Chain A
Amino acid sequence: MIYSLLLMLGVGVLAGIFGAILGIGGGLIVTPVLTLGLGLDIKYAIGASIIAVIATSSGSTIAYLRDEMLNLRVAMFLEIATTVGAILGAVLTGIVDATVLYFLFGALLVFTTYNMIRKLMSKSDELQEVKADKMAEQLNLNGTYYDKALKKQVDYQVENVPGGFTMMFGAGFASGLLGIGSGAFKVLAMDTIMHMPLKPSSATSNLMMGVTAAASAMVYFFNGSIKPGIAAPLAVGIIVGALIGSRIMQRLKPRFIRMIFVPVMLYLGIQMIAKGFGVTI
């Protein structure tokens, strides 16, 4: 038992660091370890990964709030779209064709990969000119953060608010219907569509994914999908990892974080398209 406890703690620490830096939750690491590595039933793996998402979110948000890395207004405004979408998606499970959604969202992630590579290629990389739209000003969404890697205060504007809101609704819908995490789509909506800088996008996604997951976590908690012996060391490891990761992230160059994103987004995109074909990677 000590062995499995230590293994889960270790996996948790890794997933926490990784999840906090990218703002995509720990499911990406936790689920394959549990299903492929330990042969755990997918039902329990999903329960564990929901706990992982909340632990990553709560652990990392402590530092991101203190250091004013995240944008609380953007988070709350977009959270409406995600949660409504998630509930609707859960209700419509079995009515809407999941295959189409897998293709659509998989393609979106592949497109984002392309977009991120293009951003890496261009020299002006992270300092893009963004004109705030009227809606962003009315909603007071523009923000500022201190970049510890660039050693300067970065003021930023937000654009295409309706586009980001729609994307978030879609992400919530997909996560409710397909039972997938939506962290990657949250970063996509903020970074690619609303042109927020990458660091606040990731930090804000971290805050949001915990709130979104909390809604569905109750379902899993009460229907017995959560194995206490696995979830506990995982959660504790992730909290520790997320505390570390949220400190590392602030010191990384935005460009470097984007480089980590490229393979992750591509992997998630291909995985989803494959699921559309009925293949589970």
Chain B
Amino acid sequence: MDKQKSTKQEEMHQVEMMIGYILRIGVMVSAIVLVIGMVLMLIEGNGGYPNGVEPHSFATIWAGVISLKPYAVIMLGLFLLILTPTLRVAVSIYAFAVEKDRLYVWITTIVLVILIIASIIGYLGN
């Protein structure tokens, strides 16, 4: 029993390490993009858009990122940051699957599905 428990804990530990590693990469990438955007903003002295206008659709953000407009780069970084929690949930499903914890594979999948539905509602609602 005890031995079983300790291997289980060891597995759980590895799983958490893995989620932590992926999360760390996600956070670092979004932070780097944000910092690049801020540096561009300082160099150019503005956001690259006329006053009061900010890019907030995929098309305008993408077009702005290609021409290195500060605000567009920042919005990309913010979008990546918003994705990190969802990424965390997705990786957790895989992690529980590795652990053969079917109950939690289901529970976490339900959370991910709800999250995706909510995001789509949010996207379409505008």
Interface set of A (CB-CB < 8 Å, partner B): 1-2, 5, 51, 54-55, 57-59, 61-62, 65-66, 68, 72-73, 76-77, 79-80, 83-84, 86-87, 90, 139-140, 207, 210-211, 213-219, 221-224, 226-229, 231-233, 235-236, 239
Interface SS, B side: helix
DSSP class of A's interface residues: helix, strand, loop or mixed?
Answer: helix
Nearest CB in chain A: distance from B12 CB, A: 8
Question: Nearest residue in B to A224 (C-beta to C-beta)?
Answer: B56
Interface residues of B in 74-98 (CB under 8 A from A): 74-75, 77-79, 81-86, 88-89, 92
Contact across chains for A77 and B115 when beta carbons are under 8 A apart = no
Band of interface residues on B: 35 or more
Chain B residues positioned under 8 Å from A140 (CB to CB): 101, 103-104
Quick one: given A68-B13, A79-B111, A211-B115, are A217 and B82 in contact (CB under 8 Å)?
Answer: yes
Bound Cα distance from A222 to B122, whole angstroms: 8
Measured CA separation A231–B45 after assembly (Å): 17
Name the contact of A87 in the complex, choosing from B41, B71, B118 (C-beta under 8 A): B118
Q: A66-B17, A86-B118, A215-B122 in contact; A228/B85 too (CB < 8 A)?
A: no
Residue of B nearest to A59 (CB): B27
CA distance A57 to B86 in the complex (A): 12
Any A CB within 8 A of the CB of B38 = yes
User: Which of chain B's residues have a CB closer than 8 A to the CB of A239?
Assistant: 27, 31
Of A58, A72, A232, the residue contacting B77 (CB under 8 A) is A232
Chain B positions within 8 Å of A, measured between CB atoms, are 13, 16-17, 19-20, 23-24, 26-27, 30-31, 34-35, 37-38, 41-42, 45, 47, 54, 56-57, 70-71, 74-75, 77-79, 81-86, 88-89, 92, 101, 103-104, 107-108, 110-111, 114-115, 117-119, 121-123, 125-126
Q: Which residue of B lies closest to A215 (CB)?
A: B118
Other than the given A77-B107, A207-B88, 9 more pairs (CB < 8 A) read: A5-B41, A54-B81, A58-B27, A62-B20, A80-B110, A140-B103, A210-B84, A214-B119, A218-B82
- Distance (whole angstroms) from the CB of A175 to the closest CB of chain B: 12
Closest approach, in angstroms, between the C-beta of A268 and any C-beta of chain B? 23
Q: How far is the CB of A70 from chain B (nearest CB, A)?
A: 9
Report Cα–Cα, A231/B108, bound state, in Å: 30
For A51, give its contact among B54, B78, B126 (CB under 8 Å).
B78
Q: Name 27 A/B residue pairs within 8 A (Cβ), A-sorted.
A: A5-B42, A54-B81, A55-B81, A58-B23, A58-B81, A65-B19, A66-B20, A72-B19, A73-B104, A76-B108, A77-B107, A80-B111, A140-B103, A140-B104, A211-B88, A215-B114, A215-B115, A215-B122, A219-B125, A222-B56, A222-B123, A222-B126, A228-B71, A228-B75, A232-B38, A235-B81, A236-B34
